[in-house]
A and B are shown apart, each in its own frame.
Chain A
Amino acid sequence: MPESIPAPLIIDTLKDTFREARGASAREPLGWILSVPDTHQKTVLAALDKERALRVVTCATEDEANAIGAGLWIGGEPCVLMIQHAGLYASVNTLRGVSMDGRVPMFYLIGLLSRERDREPRESRHSMVRFCSPLLNTFGVPHAIMEGPDDVHFIPEYFRLSRERRGPAAVLVGLETS
Protein backbone atom coordinates (compact mmCIF):
# COMPACT_ATOMS: atom_id res chain seq x y z
CA MET A 1 0.00 0.00 0.00
CA PRO A 2 1.26 3.50 -0.73
CA GLU A 3 2.25 5.72 2.18
CA SER A 4 2.31 9.44 2.71
CA ILE A 5 5.75 11.07 2.68
CA PRO A 6 6.63 13.56 5.45
CA ALA A 7 7.40 17.08 4.27
CA PRO A 8 10.78 17.32 6.09
CA LEU A 9 12.02 14.27 4.21
CA ILE A 10 11.14 15.82 0.86
CA ILE A 11 12.72 19.13 1.80
CA ASP A 12 15.94 17.52 3.03
CA THR A 13 16.08 15.51 -0.18
CA LEU A 14 15.62 18.65 -2.26
CA LYS A 15 18.42 20.36 -0.34
CA ASP A 16 20.76 17.42 -0.95
CA THR A 17 19.78 17.41 -4.61
CA PHE A 18 20.59 21.09 -4.98
CA ARG A 19 23.88 20.71 -3.07
CA GLU A 20 24.91 17.99 -5.48
CA ALA A 21 23.89 20.16 -8.46
CA ARG A 22 25.96 23.08 -7.23
CA GLY A 23 28.94 20.96 -6.28
CA ALA A 24 31.81 22.84 -4.74
CA SER A 25 30.05 26.15 -5.26
CA ALA A 26 27.16 25.28 -2.91
CA ARG A 27 25.76 28.40 -1.25
CA GLU A 28 22.43 29.76 -0.11
CA PRO A 29 19.92 29.80 -1.49
CA LEU A 30 20.77 26.24 -2.44
CA GLY A 31 18.06 26.27 -5.06
CA TRP A 32 14.69 27.56 -6.14
CA ILE A 33 11.24 26.09 -5.77
CA LEU A 34 8.82 27.31 -8.43
CA SER A 35 5.42 26.52 -7.10
CA VAL A 36 1.87 26.75 -8.25
CA PRO A 37 0.25 25.82 -4.97
CA ASP A 38 -0.93 22.23 -4.85
CA THR A 39 -3.27 20.81 -2.21
CA HIS A 40 -1.51 17.47 -2.50
CA GLN A 41 1.88 18.92 -1.46
CA LYS A 42 0.61 21.61 0.89
CA THR A 43 2.57 20.35 3.90
CA VAL A 44 5.78 20.73 1.91
CA LEU A 45 4.81 24.24 0.83
CA ALA A 46 3.97 25.16 4.42
CA ALA A 47 7.33 23.87 5.63
CA LEU A 48 9.11 25.73 2.84
CA ASP A 49 7.74 28.99 4.23
CA LYS A 50 10.12 28.56 7.16
CA GLU A 51 13.10 27.52 5.05
CA ARG A 52 15.97 29.91 4.50
CA ALA A 53 18.13 27.61 2.39
CA LEU A 54 15.57 27.30 -0.40
CA ARG A 55 13.85 30.21 -2.12
CA VAL A 56 10.25 29.82 -3.20
CA VAL A 57 8.67 31.75 -6.05
CA THR A 58 4.91 31.33 -6.13
CA CYS A 59 3.73 31.48 -9.72
CA ALA A 60 0.29 32.30 -11.05
CA THR A 61 0.46 29.56 -13.69
CA GLU A 62 2.55 26.54 -14.59
CA ASP A 63 3.38 28.21 -17.92
CA GLU A 64 5.16 30.91 -15.95
CA ALA A 65 6.94 28.37 -13.79
CA ASN A 66 8.40 26.67 -16.86
CA ALA A 67 9.69 29.90 -18.35
CA ILE A 68 11.05 31.18 -15.03
CA GLY A 69 12.80 27.85 -14.58
CA ALA A 70 14.42 28.25 -17.98
CA GLY A 71 15.74 31.68 -17.04
CA LEU A 72 17.12 30.37 -13.77
CA TRP A 73 18.86 27.44 -15.44
CA ILE A 74 20.35 29.64 -18.15
CA GLY A 75 21.74 31.82 -15.36
CA GLY A 76 23.23 28.80 -13.57
CA GLU A 77 20.62 28.38 -10.82
CA PRO A 78 19.02 25.00 -9.99
CA CYS A 79 15.27 24.74 -9.53
CA VAL A 80 12.38 22.35 -9.05
CA LEU A 81 8.82 22.91 -10.25
CA MET A 82 6.15 21.82 -7.75
CA ILE A 83 2.84 21.53 -9.53
CA GLN A 84 -0.29 19.41 -9.75
CA HIS A 85 -1.42 17.06 -12.52
CA ALA A 86 -4.01 19.61 -13.64
CA GLY A 87 -1.21 22.16 -13.99
CA LEU A 88 0.74 19.76 -16.13
CA TYR A 89 -2.23 19.48 -18.47
CA ALA A 90 -2.55 23.27 -18.54
CA SER A 91 1.08 23.85 -19.46
CA VAL A 92 2.12 21.14 -21.91
CA ASN A 93 2.78 23.62 -24.71
CA THR A 94 5.28 25.48 -22.57
CA LEU A 95 6.86 22.23 -21.41
CA ARG A 96 7.25 21.31 -25.07
CA GLY A 97 8.53 24.71 -26.18
CA VAL A 98 10.87 25.40 -23.29
CA SER A 99 12.15 22.10 -22.01
CA MET A 100 11.90 19.88 -25.08
CA ASP A 101 12.58 22.21 -28.01
CA GLY A 102 14.77 24.50 -25.94
CA ARG A 103 16.58 21.53 -24.38
CA VAL A 104 16.30 23.07 -20.94
CA PRO A 105 16.54 20.60 -18.03
CA MET A 106 13.32 20.84 -16.05
CA PHE A 107 12.45 18.71 -13.06
CA TYR A 108 8.86 18.45 -11.87
CA LEU A 109 7.31 17.21 -8.64
CA ILE A 110 3.71 16.54 -9.66
CA GLY A 111 1.01 15.95 -7.08
CA LEU A 112 -1.59 13.33 -7.97
CA LEU A 113 -4.45 15.02 -6.15
CA SER A 114 -7.41 12.69 -5.51
CA ARG A 115 -5.41 9.55 -6.19
CA GLU A 116 -7.07 6.71 -4.27
CA ARG A 117 -4.94 4.87 -1.73
CA ASP A 118 -6.22 1.47 -2.86
CA ARG A 119 -5.81 1.91 -6.62
CA GLU A 120 -3.06 2.27 -9.14
CA PRO A 121 -3.20 5.72 -10.76
CA ARG A 122 -4.07 4.17 -14.12
CA GLU A 123 -7.17 2.66 -12.51
CA SER A 124 -8.29 5.81 -10.74
CA ARG A 125 -11.89 6.95 -10.98
CA HIS A 126 -10.55 10.44 -11.66
CA SER A 127 -9.41 11.32 -15.16
CA MET A 128 -6.95 13.89 -13.79
CA VAL A 129 -5.15 11.09 -11.96
CA ARG A 130 -5.48 8.53 -14.73
CA PHE A 131 -4.13 10.66 -17.58
CA CYS A 132 -0.97 12.00 -15.95
CA SER A 133 1.40 9.16 -16.68
CA PRO A 134 0.01 8.52 -20.20
CA LEU A 135 0.45 12.21 -21.02
CA LEU A 136 4.04 12.18 -19.83
CA ASN A 137 4.60 9.03 -21.91
CA THR A 138 3.13 10.74 -24.97
CA PHE A 139 5.63 13.55 -24.61
CA GLY A 140 8.45 11.14 -23.83
CA VAL A 141 8.99 12.57 -20.35
CA PRO A 142 10.70 10.03 -18.07
CA HIS A 143 9.01 9.77 -14.72
CA ALA A 144 8.54 7.67 -11.60
CA ILE A 145 5.99 7.65 -8.82
CA MET A 146 6.86 8.03 -5.15
CA GLU A 147 4.67 5.62 -3.24
CA GLY A 148 6.26 6.20 0.15
CA PRO A 149 9.33 7.46 2.05
CA ASP A 150 11.54 4.76 0.56
CA ASP A 151 11.01 6.28 -2.89
CA VAL A 152 12.44 9.75 -2.27
CA HIS A 153 15.63 8.63 -3.99
CA PHE A 154 13.69 9.24 -7.22
CA ILE A 155 14.03 12.98 -6.60
CA PRO A 156 17.82 13.22 -7.09
CA GLU A 157 17.74 10.49 -9.74
CA TYR A 158 15.21 12.20 -11.98
CA PHE A 159 16.66 15.65 -11.29
CA ARG A 160 19.98 14.30 -12.53
CA LEU A 161 18.27 12.65 -15.47
CA SER A 162 16.70 15.93 -16.56
CA ARG A 163 20.16 17.45 -16.70
CA GLU A 164 21.79 14.52 -18.43
CA ARG A 165 19.18 14.40 -21.17
CA ARG A 166 18.69 18.16 -21.31
CA GLY A 167 14.91 17.99 -21.07
CA PRO A 168 11.99 17.34 -18.77
CA ALA A 169 11.79 14.63 -16.11
CA ALA A 170 9.21 14.18 -13.38
CA VAL A 171 8.46 12.49 -10.12
CA LEU A 172 4.80 11.97 -9.25
CA VAL A 173 3.75 12.28 -5.63
CA GLY A 174 1.45 9.32 -5.06
CA LEU A 175 -0.31 10.32 -1.86
CA GLU A 176 -0.80 13.66 -0.17
CA THR A 177 2.33 14.60 1.77
CA SER A 178 2.20 14.67 5.57
Chain B
Amino acid sequence: MAMKPEDVLRAIAAARGDAICVPTMTTSPAWRTLAPDDLSIGCVGFMGGASSLGLGLALATPTRRVIVFDGDGSLLMQLGSLATIAGAAPRNLTHLLFKNGVYHTSGAQEIPGGLTVDFVTMAKGAGYRKAYAVTELDDFKRRLPSMLTDEGPLLVELHTGLADKTPMTDRSGVPFNQQVDNLRTRLTKAG
Protein backbone atom coordinates (compact mmCIF):
# COMPACT_ATOMS: atom_id res chain seq x y z
CA MET B 1 0.00 0.00 0.00
CA ALA B 2 1.32 3.42 -0.96
CA MET B 3 2.52 5.73 1.79
CA LYS B 4 0.31 8.60 2.86
CA PRO B 5 2.07 11.89 2.02
CA GLU B 6 0.98 13.36 5.34
CA ASP B 7 2.70 10.53 7.24
CA VAL B 8 5.91 11.07 5.28
CA LEU B 9 5.79 14.81 5.92
CA ARG B 10 5.11 14.29 9.61
CA ALA B 11 8.26 12.18 9.91
CA ILE B 12 10.30 14.83 8.06
CA ALA B 13 8.93 17.61 10.27
CA ALA B 14 10.14 15.72 13.33
CA ALA B 15 13.62 15.07 11.93
CA ARG B 16 14.52 18.06 9.76
CA GLY B 17 16.20 20.26 12.39
CA ASP B 18 17.07 23.58 10.75
CA ALA B 19 16.80 22.31 7.19
CA ILE B 20 15.17 24.54 4.59
CA CYS B 21 12.17 22.83 3.01
CA VAL B 22 10.74 23.52 -0.45
CA PRO B 23 7.28 21.96 -0.85
CA THR B 24 5.29 22.18 -4.05
CA MET B 25 1.74 21.36 -5.15
CA THR B 26 0.04 18.69 -3.02
CA THR B 27 2.65 18.66 -0.27
CA SER B 28 2.14 22.37 0.38
CA PRO B 29 -1.14 22.40 2.36
CA ALA B 30 -0.09 19.62 4.72
CA TRP B 31 3.41 21.00 5.17
CA ARG B 32 2.30 24.47 6.21
CA THR B 33 0.14 22.86 8.90
CA LEU B 34 2.90 20.56 10.10
CA ALA B 35 5.72 23.11 9.91
CA PRO B 36 4.31 26.63 10.02
CA ASP B 37 7.69 28.32 10.14
CA ASP B 38 9.69 30.67 7.96
CA LEU B 39 12.34 28.11 7.03
CA SER B 40 10.11 26.74 4.30
CA ILE B 41 9.20 28.22 0.96
CA GLY B 42 6.53 26.81 -1.32
CA CYS B 43 7.06 26.76 -5.06
CA VAL B 44 3.92 28.67 -5.97
CA GLY B 45 3.12 30.14 -9.38
CA PHE B 46 5.89 28.48 -11.39
CA MET B 47 5.09 24.77 -11.41
CA GLY B 48 8.15 22.63 -11.94
CA GLY B 49 10.53 25.06 -10.28
CA ALA B 50 10.91 23.45 -6.84
CA SER B 51 14.07 21.53 -7.67
CA SER B 52 15.76 24.62 -9.13
CA LEU B 53 14.64 26.85 -6.27
CA GLY B 54 16.08 24.25 -3.92
CA LEU B 55 19.33 24.19 -5.87
CA GLY B 56 19.73 27.95 -5.56
CA LEU B 57 19.09 27.77 -1.83
CA ALA B 58 21.53 24.88 -1.43
CA LEU B 59 24.29 26.76 -3.25
CA ALA B 60 23.67 29.88 -1.18
CA THR B 61 23.63 28.05 2.16
CA PRO B 62 26.17 25.24 1.84
CA THR B 63 26.26 24.51 5.57
CA ARG B 64 22.54 23.90 5.82
CA ARG B 65 20.50 20.98 4.43
CA VAL B 66 17.90 21.84 1.80
CA ILE B 67 15.04 19.39 1.22
CA VAL B 68 12.86 19.64 -1.89
CA PHE B 69 9.42 17.98 -1.79
CA ASP B 70 8.89 17.57 -5.51
CA GLY B 71 6.03 15.97 -7.41
CA ASP B 72 6.33 13.61 -10.36
CA GLY B 73 4.22 15.84 -12.61
CA SER B 74 6.12 18.89 -11.42
CA LEU B 75 9.55 17.40 -12.04
CA LEU B 76 8.53 16.34 -15.54
CA MET B 77 7.95 20.02 -16.34
CA GLN B 78 11.63 20.78 -15.72
CA LEU B 79 13.25 17.39 -16.03
CA GLY B 80 16.49 18.97 -17.19
CA SER B 81 16.93 20.25 -13.66
CA LEU B 82 18.18 16.78 -12.74
CA ALA B 83 21.23 17.35 -14.92
CA THR B 84 21.63 20.94 -13.77
CA ILE B 85 21.56 19.84 -10.14
CA ALA B 86 23.99 17.01 -10.80
CA GLY B 87 26.31 19.41 -12.60
CA ALA B 88 26.28 21.91 -9.73
CA ALA B 89 26.68 19.00 -7.28
CA PRO B 90 25.38 20.55 -4.05
CA ARG B 91 26.34 18.23 -1.22
CA ASN B 92 23.54 19.55 0.99
CA LEU B 93 20.56 18.91 -1.31
CA THR B 94 18.01 16.17 -0.66
CA HIS B 95 15.46 15.82 -3.45
CA LEU B 96 12.38 13.91 -2.30
CA LEU B 97 10.04 12.98 -5.12
CA PHE B 98 6.44 12.28 -4.11
CA LYS B 99 5.38 9.88 -6.85
CA ASN B 100 1.65 9.28 -7.28
CA GLY B 101 1.42 9.02 -11.07
CA VAL B 102 -1.11 11.82 -11.48
CA TYR B 103 -1.55 15.57 -11.57
CA HIS B 104 -3.53 15.51 -8.36
CA THR B 105 -4.09 19.26 -8.10
CA SER B 106 -5.73 19.59 -11.51
CA GLY B 107 -8.06 16.61 -11.12
CA ALA B 108 -5.80 13.54 -10.93
CA GLN B 109 -5.17 13.14 -14.65
CA GLU B 110 -2.40 10.61 -15.26
CA ILE B 111 1.05 12.06 -15.90
CA PRO B 112 2.81 11.02 -19.13
CA GLY B 113 3.92 7.47 -18.49
CA GLY B 114 1.99 7.23 -15.23
CA LEU B 115 3.61 5.20 -12.50
CA THR B 116 6.01 3.49 -14.89
CA VAL B 117 8.27 6.55 -15.12
CA ASP B 118 11.49 5.66 -13.31
CA PHE B 119 12.93 8.79 -11.71
CA VAL B 120 15.59 6.83 -9.84
CA THR B 121 17.17 5.71 -13.08
CA MET B 122 16.91 9.22 -14.49
CA ALA B 123 18.54 10.81 -11.44
CA LYS B 124 21.35 8.29 -11.51
CA GLY B 125 21.79 8.82 -15.22
CA ALA B 126 21.90 12.56 -14.72
CA GLY B 127 24.71 12.17 -12.20
CA TYR B 128 23.10 12.38 -8.75
CA ARG B 129 25.41 10.99 -6.10
CA LYS B 130 22.72 8.61 -4.92
CA ALA B 131 19.13 7.73 -5.88
CA TYR B 132 16.73 5.06 -4.66
CA ALA B 133 13.04 4.35 -4.15
CA VAL B 134 11.16 3.86 -0.89
CA THR B 135 7.74 2.22 -0.82
CA GLU B 136 7.03 1.60 2.89
CA LEU B 137 6.66 4.14 5.69
CA ASP B 138 8.72 2.13 8.16
CA ASP B 139 11.55 1.91 5.65
CA PHE B 140 11.26 5.63 5.02
CA LYS B 141 11.52 6.40 8.74
CA ARG B 142 14.49 4.10 9.10
CA ARG B 143 16.37 5.72 6.23
CA LEU B 144 15.33 9.31 6.90
CA PRO B 145 18.35 10.23 9.08
CA SER B 146 20.75 9.27 6.30
CA MET B 147 18.63 11.11 3.73
CA LEU B 148 19.27 14.25 5.74
CA THR B 149 23.01 13.71 6.18
CA ASP B 150 24.26 11.78 3.16
CA GLU B 151 26.24 13.78 0.64
CA GLY B 152 23.99 15.08 -2.06
CA PRO B 153 22.63 15.52 -4.49
CA LEU B 154 20.41 12.67 -3.41
CA LEU B 155 17.03 11.73 -4.89
CA VAL B 156 14.55 9.50 -3.14
CA GLU B 157 11.48 8.41 -5.08
CA LEU B 158 8.66 8.04 -2.56
CA HIS B 159 5.74 5.88 -3.62
CA THR B 160 2.80 7.75 -2.18
CA GLY B 161 -0.94 7.94 -2.48
CA LEU B 162 -2.91 11.14 -2.83
CA ALA B 163 -2.77 13.86 -0.19
CA ASP B 164 -5.96 14.84 1.60
CA LYS B 165 -5.70 18.43 0.35
CA THR B 166 -4.39 20.16 -2.74
CA PRO B 167 -3.54 23.81 -3.37
CA MET B 168 -6.96 24.05 -5.07
CA THR B 169 -8.97 22.65 -2.18
CA ASP B 170 -6.97 24.55 0.45
CA ARG B 171 -5.97 27.98 -0.74
CA SER B 172 -4.72 29.21 2.60
CA GLY B 173 -1.08 30.04 3.18
CA VAL B 174 1.29 32.96 2.95
CA PRO B 175 1.74 34.59 -0.48
CA PHE B 176 4.95 33.62 -2.27
CA ASN B 177 6.50 37.08 -2.04
CA GLN B 178 5.95 37.06 1.72
CA GLN B 179 7.55 33.63 2.00
CA VAL B 180 10.51 34.99 0.02
CA ASP B 181 10.90 37.87 2.46
CA ASN B 182 10.51 35.68 5.53
CA LEU B 183 13.11 33.14 4.43
CA ARG B 184 15.57 35.73 3.18
CA THR B 185 15.32 37.61 6.47
CA ARG B 186 15.89 34.40 8.38
CA LEU B 187 18.87 33.29 6.29
CA THR B 188 20.65 36.60 5.92
CA LYS B 189 20.23 37.42 9.60
CA ALA B 190 21.76 34.06 10.43
CA GLY B 191 24.80 35.36 8.56
* Residues in A lying within 8 Å of B, measured CB to CB: 32, 57-61, 63-77, 93-94, 96-98, 101-104
Whether B56 is near chain A, meaning CB under 8 Å from some CB there, is: yes
Within 8 A of A (CB), among B139-191: 176-177, 180-181, 183-184, 187-188
On whether A58 and B87 interact (CB within 8 A), knowing A74-B41, A97-B46, A102-B176, the answer reads: yes
| A32, B56: Cα distance in complex, Å | 10
**Contact between B84 and A102, CB atoms less than 8 A apart:** no
On whether A64 and B46 interact (CB within 8 A), knowing A69-B56, A72-B60, A101-B176, the answer reads: no
**Contact between A74 and B80, CB atoms less than 8 A apart:** no
**Contact between B188 and A76, CB atoms less than 8 A apart:** yes
Whether B26 is near chain A, meaning CB under 8 Å from some CB there, is: no
**Contact between A103 and B184, CB atoms less than 8 A apart:** no
Instruction: Report which of B50, B84, B88, B184 forms a contact with A74, defined as CB distance below 8 A.
Output: B184
Q: Secondary structure of the B side of the interface?
A: helix
Q: How far is the CB of B50 from chain A (nearest CB, A)?
A: 8
* Residues in B lying within 8 Å of A, measured CB to CB: 41, 43-46, 48-50, 52-61, 78, 80-81, 83-84, 87-88, 176-177, 180-181, 183-184, 187-188
Instruction: Report which of A60, A66, A76 forms a contact with B184, defined as CB distance below 8 A.
Output: A76
**Contact between A60 and B183, CB atoms less than 8 A apart:** no
A74 proximity list for chain B (CB < 8 A): 41, 56-57, 60, 180, 183-184, 187
| A42, B78: Cα distance in complex, Å | 24
Q: Secondary structure of the A side of the interface?
A: helix
| A70, B59: Cα distance in complex, Å | 11
How many A-B contacts are there with CB distance less than 8 Å? Answer: 113
| A49, B62: Cα distance in complex, Å | 22
Q: How far is the CB of B42 from chain A (nearest CB, A)?
A: 11
A102 proximity list for chain B (CB < 8 A): 45, 176-177, 180
| A128, B52: Cα distance in complex, Å | 26
| A102, B179: Cα distance in complex, Å | 9
| A32, B87: Cα distance in complex, Å | 15
A65 proximity list for chain B (CB < 8 A): 52
In the complex, which of the residues A57, A66, A69, A71 has the most CB atoms of chain B within 10 Å of its own CB atom?
Answer: A71
| A57, B57: Cα distance in complex, Å | 13
